[in-house]
């Protein structure tokens, strides 16, 4: 196994020089690459070398970070590999983030440079301060020198940082997950050896994903799957159900990445001949509705292999061996290199059939091997997650008598909307800043398309009139500091928020068991206003 990501890449380039490596299907409506693109491993290797030279001549080196705001352009992966050769690190940016959210990322990561599309300049100029901004089209003309000399010296090694991705936490501010070469090469080896339904054929697979590149699912997980096995990663700018099958066909996809919400939306489409006009062998993802799972496979003709993973881990558990437990939220079982425990709130192991928090590690001797390098500038949060020598995932699972694991619930106070993790505390912090809000508690509610939606229970300030007008005002206020998907899709005005004697909110006591908050008198539905603005 190679110990450096760019060595993995070099080995694939030598073995599969003429095989496609990166592609995007044609789309005349896309702001970039409307005619599509396909690069072989040999072509990608040449371009990575060119990018590396520009970065080096611009003074970028070991220990520096570079932020990229390139949406889902495949160039992001080429820049990623070029930076890793130098020992520098990539910070992919979310194109939907507000200035305040971007500023948090810049304050934490302190990048030396931002490479961007011009349409994002206004927000990035406000967020980045003195950090130089360079358009992607101008990159080859040369770079401004770094503000600081490279903070590290020596050769690139397994513990050299490769990337920082931000993942939502329960404290309201997203944490930066640091990856290193050891993390990524361990993931490559894991993907090469899964077998069963997830046996990637060397040099033959074409994996299609419309998911965002700033997220670990495609930006790390899918990318490394194809890099590890000499396959081709095909990315789209975003998911649209109306063009899904056309793009899958154009991509000549043999495997897919999905979220449960994608499968639900595809199943709602009227039947067509196009939905069977594909070469897909399997799809990898999480969150398909159990009652839909078997029916989807029967209609579209390929298995949905449910997996479990996290940004901090990346080596997923999966239900890939036959017989699969379709429709049960099963996601595999413990394997060598990814040991598992399920524990109660006191840290004691639970019995089979009982829900418990999922704890994972590599092994007793090397618990953190192949895991993330830690939360950026948050050593206490890192050690808290690793207490007792196990990584505490915050997810709750149940183990059956045969050792199979089944997803049960999330322990963390996260809202999972269309694949995005939203911290309730972050939304609460935005809403409480409005003078019309005295108290607020944010909770998830079911959503038929997006798995979960954000519901804000608001105690209005004295003199405020609860109702649709005030709810819309709070929604608009939230959009000033939050990305559109984090704003409340529902607002319910309540008389009080239940609290403990120490004044901690008791969200579980907001509604009696069996009560749907969406049906409560006065609940205001704002979902129609949650729209992604075109850049």
- In the block, tokens 């694949």 appear at 419
Rounded to the nearest 5 degrees, what angle is found at the Cα of 217, between the Cα atoms of 214 and 222?
A: 105
CB burial string 266-276: b at 16+ within 10 A, e below = bbeeeeeeebe
Q: Are 431 and 474 in contact (CB under 8 A)?
A: yes
The helix/strand/coil state of 330 is strand
Token pair for 175: 């944490």
Report pLDDT for 329: 86
pTM of the model: 0.85
**Which has more pLDDT, 241 or 162?**
162
Residue 534 has pLDDT above 60, yes or no: no
pLDDT tens per residue across span 419-452 = 887 878 789 889 988 999 989 999 999 999 898 9
Residue ranges per structural domain of the chain: 5-316, 328-412, 414-529
Per mean pLDDT, which range of 83-92, 467-476, 508-517 is the poorest?
508-517
Report pLDDT for 158: 95
Per mean pLDDT, which range of 169-173, 451-455, 463-467 is the poorest?
169-173
Which pLDDT band holds residue 374 (cuts at 50, 70, 90)?
very high
Which pLDDT band holds residue 314 (cuts at 50, 70, 90)?
confident
Sign of the CA dihedral running 82, 83, 87, 89 = negative
Q: Which helix (H) or strand (E) holds 359?
A: strand 356-361
Residue 107 has pLDDT above 50, yes or no: yes
Can you give the three-state secondary structure of 221-240, one letter per residue? Answer: HHHHHHHHHCCEEEECCCCC
Residues constituting the chain: 535
What are φ and ψ of residue 365, in 5° steps? -70, -40
Interatomic CA distance for residues 478 and 436, integer angstroms: 13
Residue 503 has pLDDT above 60, yes or no: no
**Which has more pLDDT, 196 or 499?**
196
Report pLDDT for 379: 96
* CATH code of the domain occupying 414-529: 3.30.300.30
Q: Are 331 and 302 in contact (CB under 8 A)?
A: no
Q: Are 416 and 444 in contact (CB under 8 A)?
A: yes
Which fold is adopted by the domain 328-412?
A: Luciferase; domain 3 (2.30.38)
Report pLDDT for 169: 46
Interatomic CA distance for residues 420 and 441, integer angstroms: 19
Residue 367 has pLDDT above 90, yes or no: yes
Strand partners for 163: 90, 179
- Mean pLDDT, the chain, rounded, equals 92
pLDDT tens per residue across span 207-242 = 999 999 998 889 999 999 999 999 999 999 989 989
Interatomic CA distance for residues 467 and 443, integer angstroms: 19
Report pLDDT for 501: 47
Query: Where does residue 347 rank: exposed (0-12), middle (13-18), buried (19+ CB within 10 A)?
Result: middle
Nearest alpha carbon to residue 220 among 81, 412, 407, 54: 81
pLDDT tens per residue across span 111-157 = 999 999 999 999 999 999 999 999 999 999 999 988 888 776 678 99
Per mean pLDDT, which range of 34-38, 431-435, 488-492, 524-528 is the poorest?
431-435
Report pLDDT for 170: 39
Which pLDDT band holds residue 171 (cuts at 50, 70, 90)?
very low
Q: Are 80 and 163 in contact (CB under 8 A)?
A: yes
Report pLDDT for 502: 42
Sign of the CA dihedral running 377, 380, 381, 382 = positive
CATH architecture, domain 5-316: 3-Layer(aba) Sandwich (3.40)
Report pLDDT for 504: 65
**% of the chain exceeding 70 in pLDDT:** 97
pLDDT tens per residue across span 388-410 = 999 999 888 899 998 999 988 67
pLDDT tens per residue across span 173-186 = 789 999 999 999 99
């Amino acid at each position: 196994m190679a110990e450096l990501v760019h060595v993995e890449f070099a080995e694939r380039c030598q073995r599969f020089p003429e095989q496609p490596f990166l592609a995007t299907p044609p789309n005349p409506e896309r702001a970039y690459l409307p005619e599509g693109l396909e690069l072989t491993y040999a072509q990608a290797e040449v371009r990575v070398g060119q990018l590396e030279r520009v970065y080096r001549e611009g003074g970028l080196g070991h220990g520096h970070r570079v932020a990229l705001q390139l949406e889902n352009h495949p160039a992001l992966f080429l820049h990623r590999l070029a930076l890793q050769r130098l020992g520098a690190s990539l910070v992919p940016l979310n194109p939907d983030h507000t200035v305040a959210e971007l500023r948090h990322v810049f304050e934490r990561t302190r990048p030396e440079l931002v490479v961007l599309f011009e349409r994002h300049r206004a927000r990035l100029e406000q967020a980045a301060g003195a950090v130089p901004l360079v358009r992607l089209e101008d990159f080859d003309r040369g770079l401004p020198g770094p503000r600081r000399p490279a903070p590290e010296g020596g050769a690139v090694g397994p513990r050299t940082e490769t990337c920082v991705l931000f993942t939502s936490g329960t404290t309201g501010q997203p944490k930066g997950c640091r990856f290193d070469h050891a993390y990524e090469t361990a993931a490559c080896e894991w993907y090469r050896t899964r077998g069963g339904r997830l046996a990637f054929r060397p040099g033959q697979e074409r994996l299609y994903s419309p998911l965002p590149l700033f997220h670990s699912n495609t930006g790390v997980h899918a990318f490394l799957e194809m890099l590890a096995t000499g396959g081709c990663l095909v990315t789209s700018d975003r998911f649209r159900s109306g063009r899904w099958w056309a793009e899958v066909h154009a991509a000549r996809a043999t495997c897919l990445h999905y979220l449960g919400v994608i499968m639900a939306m595809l199943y709602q489409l009227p039947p067509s001949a196009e939905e069977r006009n594909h070469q897909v062998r399997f799809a990898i993802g999480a969150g398909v509705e159990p009652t839909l799972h078997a029916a989807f496979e029967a209609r579209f003709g390929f298995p949905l292999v449910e997996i479990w993973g996290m940004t901090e881990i990346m080596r997923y558990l999966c239900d890939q061996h036959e017989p699969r437990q379709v429709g049960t939220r099963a996601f595999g079982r413990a394997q060598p290199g990814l040991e598992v425990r399920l524990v109660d709130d006191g840290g004691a192991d639970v019995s089979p059939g009982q829900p418990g928090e999922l704890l994972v590690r590599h092994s007793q001797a090397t618990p953190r091997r192949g895991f993330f390098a830690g939360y950026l500038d948050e050593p206490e949060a890192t050690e808290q997650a690793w207490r007792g020598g196990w990584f505490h995932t915050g997810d709750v699972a149940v183990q059956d008598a045969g050792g199979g694991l089944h997803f049960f619930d999330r322990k963390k106070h996260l809202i999972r909307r269309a694949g995005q993790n939203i911290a309730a505390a972050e939304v609460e912090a935005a809403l409480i800043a409005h003078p019309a809000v005295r108290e607020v508690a944010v909770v998830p509610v079911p959503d038929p398309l997006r798995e979960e939606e954000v519901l804000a229970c608001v105690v209005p300030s004295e003199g405020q009139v609860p109702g649709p007008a005030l709810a819309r005002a709070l929604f608009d206020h939230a959009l000033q500091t939050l990305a559109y998907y984090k704003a409340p899709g529902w607002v319910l005005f309540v008389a009080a928020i239940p609290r403990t004697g120490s004044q901690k909110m008791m969200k579980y006591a907001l509604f009696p068991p069996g009560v749907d908050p969406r049906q409560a008198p006065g609940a205001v539905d704002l979902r129609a206003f949650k729209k992604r603005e075109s850049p």
